[in-house]
Amino acid sequence: MKNILTILFVVLFFQTAIAQDKADKKLVAAVESLRKQMIDPNKTSLDGLLMDGLSYGHSTGRLDTKASLMESLLNGTSDFVSITLSDQTININGKTAIVRHKLIAATNDNGKAGEAKLAVLLVWQKQHKDWKLLARQAVKLL
């Protein structure tokens, strides 16, 4: 009986680990998709990544909603030429995930070249089988 319980425990442990690994991979893919959409935005793709109640905080203190973020990315008000992410960490707790990373970007906002060096906190929520961005806050790196 003790051996059966041990085997059952091991099987359940590995099933949970495999499920977690799949969730991590889907979340990493969603973060990468968001990075790409910020550089070359597509209305349909952005809409699928962002939650309707999105709270998107900029390092300047400006706050965007889903609609205002999409508009600024699509019309070039916020124009990312390139984005590099580093030092990414992921913490998944049920259907909510916290992703932190550093973001270095070349920008061309309103036709003016610039650079962004940020520490970013993303909050993702799983809806059905997809991860969607619920909140984002950035601060300038020193």
- At 31, which CATH number? 3.10.450.50
70 pLDDT higher than 60:
yes
User: What is the Cα–Cα distance from 132 to 31, expressed in whole angstroms?
Assistant: 9
User: What is the Cα–Cα distance from 132 to 113, expressed in whole angstroms?
Assistant: 30
Residues whose CB falls within 8 Å of the CB of residue 47, separated by 6 or more in sequence, listed in order? 70
pLDDT in tens, 79-105: 999 999 999 999 999 999 999 999 999
12 pLDDT higher than 80:
no
pLDDT in tens, 108-134: 988 899 999 999 999 999 999 999 999
Question: What's the confidence (pLDDT) of residue 21?
Answer: 63
Question: What's the confidence (pLDDT) of residue 127?
Answer: 95
**Helix/strand/coil for 32:** helix
User: What is the Cα–Cα distance from 11 to 140, expressed in whole angstroms?
Assistant: 45
pLDDT in tens, 13-53: 444 444 446 668 999 999 999 999 999 999 999 999 999 99
pTM of the predicted model, to two decimals? Answer: 0.83
Beta 112-127 vs 130-140: how paired, if at all?
Answer: antiparallel
Question: What's the confidence (pLDDT) of residue 1?
Answer: 57
CA neighbor of 42 nearest in space, from 15, 10, 66, 74: 74
Domain that includes residue 136, residue range:
2-140
**Helix/strand/coil for 73:** helix
User: What is the Cα–Cα distance from 88 to 1, expressed in whole angstroms?
Assistant: 44
**Number of structural domains, the chain?**
1
Question: What's the confidence (pLDDT) of residue 97?
Answer: 98
CB 61 within 8 A of CB 54: no
